[in-house]
Amino acid sequence: MFQKAEHLTIISNMEQRRFIKKKCKRYNIPGHAHGLTFSCFRNQKFLLSGRTCQWLIESIEMARKKHNFSLWSFVFMPDHVHLLINPMDEQYSISNILKDIKSDTARKAVKYLKENKPSELSNLSTNQKYRKYRFWQKGGGYDRNIIKENTLTHAVQYIHNNPVRKDLVDEPGKWYYSSYNCWFNGTDEPIRIDKETWPLF
For the stretch 1-32, pLDDT in tens is 434 333 333 333 433 333 334 455 688 999 99
Using the predicted structure, report yes or no on whether residue 62 has a pLDDT greater than 60: yes
Beta strand pairing status for 80-87 and 142-146?
unpaired
pLDDT of residue 23: 56
* Residue 141, in any domain of the structure: yes
* Residue 3, in any domain of the structure: no
* Residue 155, in any domain of the structure: yes
pLDDT band at 130 (very low <50, low <70, confident <90, very high): confident
* Residue 161, in any domain of the structure: yes
pLDDT of residue 27: 87
Distances (CA, A) of 8 to 3, 13, 18, 57, 194: 9, 9, 16, 51, 56
Would you tell me how many other CB atoms lie within 10 Å of the CB of residue 42?
13
The structure's pTM equals: 0.86
pLDDT tens digit sequence for 72-123: 999 999 999 999 999 999 999 999 999 999 999 999 999 999 999 999 999 9
Distances (CA, A) of 71 to 65, 110, 162, 179: 11, 26, 18, 10
What value, to the nearest 5°, has the Cα angle with vertex 99 and ends 174 and 73?
30
pLDDT of residue 165: 97
| Residue-range definition of the domain harbouring residue 95 | 23-197
Distance, in Å, from the CA atom of 166 to the CA atom of 174, rounded to the nearest integer, reads 13
Instruction: Supply the CATH number for residue 118's domain.
Output: 3.30.70.1290
pLDDT of residue 47: 98
Q: What is the mean pLDDT of the chain?
A: 89
Domain count, the chain: 1
Would you tell me how many other CB atoms lie within 10 Å of the CB of residue 156?
21
Q: Do residues 24 and 141 lie in contact, with contact meaning Cβ atoms separated by under 8 Å?
A: yes
